[in-house]
Amino acid sequence: MQNITLRQLRYFDALARQGHFGRAAEAASISQPALSMQIKELEDSLGTPLLERGPRSFLLTAFGEDFLIRARAILRQVDELEDLARAAKTTLAGRLRIGVIPTVAPYLLPKLIPQLTALYPELELTLRETITPRLLRDLNEGRMDCALVALPVSEPSLEEVALFSEAFVLVRPLSEAGRPVPDRESLSELRLLLLEEGHCFRDQALSFCTSDSPAVAREMMDGSSLSTLVQMVGAGIGVTLIPEMAVPVETRSAPVAISAFPEPQPRRTIGMVWRKSSPLAPQLRQISEVARQSWGK
């Protein structure tokens, strides 16, 4: 068997993730023919196919699936060697990959990023905004260094640090300003606008507003972002809940009324998570403290 290169392992990993040669080549920043050639050379080195190729698609062979598990373990260990080298430096420097959920990213990052770049000018930030399950997967597979999410995540492999807590507020059409805030039972009878499936904020809002019975669920409508939900409320379509941090941004251009709920208010805790095995843990604690201070509430 000839030497297998880390580059080939990364290309194979990208191909397995994307499920398509063209998308994998784009993700790996090489041409599709070059990617195909590297995968073929890897198979030749191994002496057995990794892929079952069809006219327009492919499947991993049984050997390919086993090989992928071990290849990803090797790539994680290589990344941890790089992390170890970064952790040995006296100041934070080099690449730092941060994931953020969509209901936090537009509101916290404009405050956090300038502070991080001012404190650590040699830091190279890479940001990814996506839903919690994908961030946790990326963290556990070594493609992310840390993530800002709603706690708890209850992943044994991850360290959780709470940063701050914030309340949810009720968003109603401007014509309803001044009306009494509906209690939980009354709220469940209204047309409730929520984020689409997969967003943790949807589940948090549902747990406060409704038992999610089939009768209530028919009156719900889904949106792709908090901005969409607020604009829909402004158009008189229904009501929604948003976190406090989103209020200044999302209500600037929508004719809506904001109301606080009486105690006990619905709330969420935002925190930072990273792998317990990460050599960067001390540095990530520093980052989490900056994130805590950037909320500034």
Which of 85, 119, 146 is at the close of a domain?
85
| pLDDT tens by residue, 79-89 | 877 777 776 66
Same domain, 238 and 279: no
Same domain, 145 and 288: yes
Does the pLDDT value for residue 216 go beyond 60? no
Same domain, 159 and 173: no
Which of 28, 62, 85 is at the close of a domain?
85
143 is a domain residue: yes
Same domain, 76 and 107: no
Q: Give the range among 150-154, 200-204, 226-230 with minimum mean pLDDT.
A: 200-204
Same domain, 139 and 210: no
Does the pLDDT value for residue 238 go beyond 80? yes
User: How far is 80 from 231, CA to CA, in rounded Å?
Assistant: 44
Percentage of the chain surpassing pLDDT 90?
A: 47
Question: Which pLDDT score, from 0 to 100, does residue 183 have?
Answer: 78
What residues contact residue 73 under an 8 Å CB cut-off, 6+ apart? none
Classify residue 32 by burial, with Cβ atoms within 10 Å: 0-12, 13-18, 19+.
middle
CATH number for the domain including 51?
1.10.10.10
Same domain, 105 and 34: no
Of the chain, the end-to-end C-alpha distance in Å amounts to: 60
Instruction: Specify the length of the chain in residues.
Output: 297
Kindly state the helix (H) or strand (E) to which residue 191 belongs, with its residue range.
none
Q: Give the range among 37-41, 108-112, 223-227 with minimum mean pLDDT.
A: 223-227
Mean pLDDT of 199-213: 70
CATH number for the domain including 125?
3.40.190.10
Does the pLDDT value for residue 31 go beyond 80? yes
Q: Are 123 and 96 in contact (CB under 8 A)?
A: yes
Same domain, 149 and 285: yes
* Cβ neighbours of 95 (radius 10 Å): 12
| pLDDT tens by residue, 5-17 | 989 999 999 999 8
Same domain, 133 and 97: yes
How many separate domains does the chain show? Answer: 3
1 is a domain residue: no
Mean pLDDT of 207-235: 70
Domain span at 264: 165-268
Mean pLDDT of 197-204: 78
Same domain, 130 and 156: yes
pLDDT range class, residue 221, cuts 50, 70, 90? low
Does the pLDDT value for residue 212 go beyond 60? no
Alpha helices in 88-143 (DSSP H): 105-119, 132-140
User: How far is 110 from 131, CA to CA, in rounded Å?
Assistant: 19
What is the chain's mean pLDDT, rounded? 87
- In the block, which residue shows the tokens 């290849």? 71
Mean pLDDT of 243-268: 91
Same domain, 178 and 254: yes
Same domain, 47 and 79: yes
- For residue 162, what are the β-bridge partners? 271
Same domain, 62 and 178: no
Which of 85, 110, 126 is at the close of a domain?
85
Sign of the C-alpha dihedral, residues 23, 28, 33, 35?
negative
